[in-house]
């Protein structure tokens, strides 16, 4: 399983765009990159998943360079309710388990 490295914490203000980068130097050919969000005392919530280039949904964008050794989760115009821990995970297509790293604690201030 590819190991991931993320910043421990990030600070932002309401209305700003936040980019959280995750390093996964040992990502395998069949691995996909998935981001989850977790609020205190709640289960993680799926945000976005991608394999290469760019993926966008209604809440976020995921940018993956050609070498796939890193990925960036982009949250446009964050609000106070985006304060949470964000986890980057790398997993193989199929029935592999997920290994959660320490995640990034994002604090959004007024």
Partner 1 sequence: GAVVSQHPSWVICKSGTSVKIECRSLDFQATTMFWYRQFPKQSLMLMATSNEGSKATYEQGVEKDKFLINHASLTLSTLTVTSAHPEDSSFYICSARGPGRRTVGTDTQYFGPGTRLTVL
Q: Which residues bind partner 1 (CB under 8 A)?
A: 32, 34, 36, 41-46, 49-51, 55, 87, 91-103
* Minimal distance, residue 91 CB to partner 1, in Å: 6
| Spatial distance between the Cα atoms of 65 and 90, rounded to a whole number of angstroms | 15
- Of 18 and 47, nearer to partner 1 (C-beta) is 47
- Of 81 and 110, nearer to partner 1 (C-beta) is 81
Strands 104-109 and 70-75: unpaired
Q: What is the DSSP letter of 55?
A: E
User: Which SS3 state, helix, strand or coil, does residue 81 take?
Assistant: helix
């Amino acid at each position: 399983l590819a190991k991931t490295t993320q910043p421990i914490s990030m600070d932002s203000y309401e209305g700003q765009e936040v980019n959280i980068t995750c390093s996964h130097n040992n990502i395998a050919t069949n691995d996909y990159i998935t981001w989850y969000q977790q609020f205190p005392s709640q289960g993680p919530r799926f945000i976005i998943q991608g394999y290469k280039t760019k993926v966008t949904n209604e809440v976020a964008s995921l940018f993956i360079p050609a070498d796939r050794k890193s990925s960036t989760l982009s949250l446009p115009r964050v609000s106070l309710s985006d304060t949470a821990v964000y986890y980057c995970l790398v997993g193989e297509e199929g029935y592999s388990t997920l290994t959660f790293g320490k995640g990034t604690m994002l604090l959004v201030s007024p």
